[in-house]
Structure 1
Amino acid sequence: ERALLDLVALGTVADVAPLTSCNRSLVRDGVAALRRTARPGLRALVARAGLKPASLTVEDISFRLAPRLNAAGRLASPELALRLVMTNDEREASQLAEELERLNTKRKALAETVTGEALAAVVALPDWERRPLLVLKSAVWEPGVLGAVASRLVEQLGRPVVLLHGDEMLHGSARSVPGFDLAAALVDQDALLTRHGGHSLAAGLGIERHNLAAFEAGMLAAVARLDLDLPMFRTIDLAADLPADRLTLDTARLLDALEPCGQGNETPVFRLRAARVLRYTAMGADRRHLRITIQAGRGKVEAIGWGAADRSRELVLERSIDLAGTLQINRWNGQERLQLIAEDFRPARG
C-alpha cells in the first residue's frame, strides 16, 4: 500500500537491509514519500534532527533518523518510537521527538564514555597486542551501547571484540572481522552460554560469570585455529581515480542517478590524487569531525572527515594528500555546493 511507503523506507534503511532488487525501488519511492509525509511524528523527528524534508536522503535516514528511533529501545522503551510513528497529535509528536533527541544525546555520551573505558581496559592488559580476540566486562557499562562500542573497537583494534555487562550474570554484544564467524563460534560455546544469537559479524550473548574464563579460552582458540592475518582493518573498495577536472557539481549530479545507495549498493568511492591542502579545522559541537579545504583543479572543495579530527596532525598546509571519498551535493537555502565525504587520506605518493 503506497500510504505506507514512508515507513517502508525508514524500516528498510534502519535495518540495514540490502538496497537491491525490489528493495531499491521501494526505498526510492519511500524516500520520496517521506519527504512529503503527513505523519506528525515523522515530521517532528525530521525537524528535531535539523533536516529539511524536501532534501531527505537515505544517508539522512541511516545517520540522523534511525539512531534517534533506536535510542528509545537502547536506553528506555521501544514503545516511544512506536508512539512517535503512530501518533496523529502534533503536540504529542513534538514531545516524543524531543524525548528521542534527549535519549540520543545521552546514547552518544554514554558510547564515548564506554569506548574510553574499554580502550583503557585493553591497554592495561599486558599482552593485548598478541591476543586475536578481546573479551572485556564491566558492571557499570550501559548495555544499550555495547554493540556500537564493540564495532568501534573492532575498527580501531582490528580483531573480534566481546563486551559484557553485569556481575554474576553477564549480557553483552560481540563484533567480528571478516573470516571469523561469530554465530558459528558461539554455537560451539553453547554449553557455556545462557543465550546467543546473531550472524557472522555481530551477535548478542548471555553467560554466567563462572563460565567466563572457559568461554574466553574457547573463543581465543577458535580464532587462533583460523590463522587470520590480524590485526585486520577496514579496506576501501575504490570505484575509480577521479581527475581534478571531474570533481564538479555536474559529476555529483550524474552520480545522484545511482541513488538510493546503501547496503549492497554502496555509494561509489573515488580516489583523488595529490590534492593540495589549503586549510583544515575541527568542526561539530564536540569538535570530533574534520573539515579539509583542498585545491581541486582551479577551484577549491571541502572534504569532511566524520570523527577524524584527531587525524589533523597528519596534515600539513600546502602539502598534498591522496584522498578516498564520496561526492555529495550540499543543498542549503536554495544553493548547491559540492563537497567530499572523506573515507580516508594519506600523504600523497610520488
Structure 2
Amino acid sequence: MTSDGLVATAQALVGGGRGLLAIDESVPTCNTRFADAGIDQTEETRRRYRELLITTPHLAECISGVILHDETIRQGKRDGTSFLQVLADAGIIPGIKVDTGARPLALHPSEMVTEGLDGLRGRLQEYSALGARFAKWRAVFPVGVRSPTACGVEANAHALGRYAALCQEANLVPVIEPEVLMTGTHTMARCGEITRHVLCSVFEQMHRQGVRLDGLVLKVNMVLPGLDSPPAEPVTMQEVADATLACLLEMVPPAVAGIVFLSGGQSCERASARLNALNRQTAFARARIPWSLGFSYARAIQQPALHIWGGLEANVGAAQQAVSHRAACNRAALRGDYDAAMEQPGYGTPGSVRVKQQAH
C-alpha cells in the first residue's frame, strides 16, 4: 500500500456514513463477558460468537471496518472460510488490535501505560500479510484528583506515536485511541480539560514522529461527566455535543482523516443518542467541522446480541437481528436521524423476537 493507499483506506473507514465494529476483546475480557451471560468460556465458543457477528446479514450497509483480536484474525467459519475472507467478500475492511493491554505505570499509583511495542514491527508485518489493513492501539487515562499526571500522559502519547509510525511503515492505517475513562466522580468540565491535555500531547508526538495525519483515524471519548458524578447536575445531549465538538475543534488538526467515538461504558441507547446529537450539530456547522464523525463501538453494538444468543445455536438469527438493529441505529445517528422511537418494541425486526433462554 502506498501513502495514497493509506489515505484511501483511512477515508474508506470513516466515510460513506458507516462506522467500525470492535470485536477485539482480549481472551480474558471476552471470557468474563461470557461468564456474566452464562456462556461456556472456550476457544470454540468464542469462534462461534465471532462468526455470528461477522456473518450478520447486510452488516456492510452500516459497518465499514471490523477490529479483530489476534485470536480472531486466525479463526474462520465452521466451513473453514477464514473470517478475513468473509469480511473481504462483504466489502468490510479488516483491522487488528495490536497493543497488549494497559499495565500500572511504575511509581505512579492509579495510572496506566499501554504495552506492546516490543516486537511490534514484526507483528504488524505478519498482520499485513494476513490481510489486515488497519490497526488499533488503546491508551487509558483514569481521572482522579491528581491524575492523570504529565508523566502518565506523555508516556502513553509517546507509545501511541511510536505505534502509529510503525503502522504506517507497515502500510497499515493506525487508529489511535486515547481514552479518558468515564469511571469516577469528575465533572464534564474536568473531562474536557483532561481530554484537551491528552490530545495536545498525542498530536505533538504524531508530529515529532512523522506520522501522516491524513492516513490516521482518531478514536476518542466524548466529553462526559464521570459515571459516579452527582446526579443533581445532569447534562443534556446538546451539552455533550457542544462540549465534545468544542474540544475537538480546538485540539485535533484538520488534516486527520476522521474521528470515531468510543462508547466507553455508555448504554447502547445513550451512545446512539449522543452520537446523533453530535451529527445533528454538524449539520448546522458543517463548514467548521473538517472531519467525518463516526463511531467505533464494541459493547454498544454487541451487548444485546450476546445476551440473546446465550451460547445457543437456535438463537443465532435473533442475535444477528439485534446486531443489525444496533448498527442501523448508529448509522442513522451519523445522519442525525436517530430517534428514541427506534428503541421501542416492534420497531423493525428485532424488537419482538422471542428466543430460547440459556439454562443456568
Q: Same fold (TM over 0.5)?
A: no
Bigger Cα Rg = 1
TM range (shorter): under 0.3
Instruction: Decide which structure has greater strand share.
Output: 1
Taking structure 2 as the reference length, what is the TM-score of the superposition? 0.27
* TM-score normalised over the length of structure 1: 0.28
Between 1 and 2, higher relative CO (CA 8 Å, sep ≥ 6) is seen in: 2
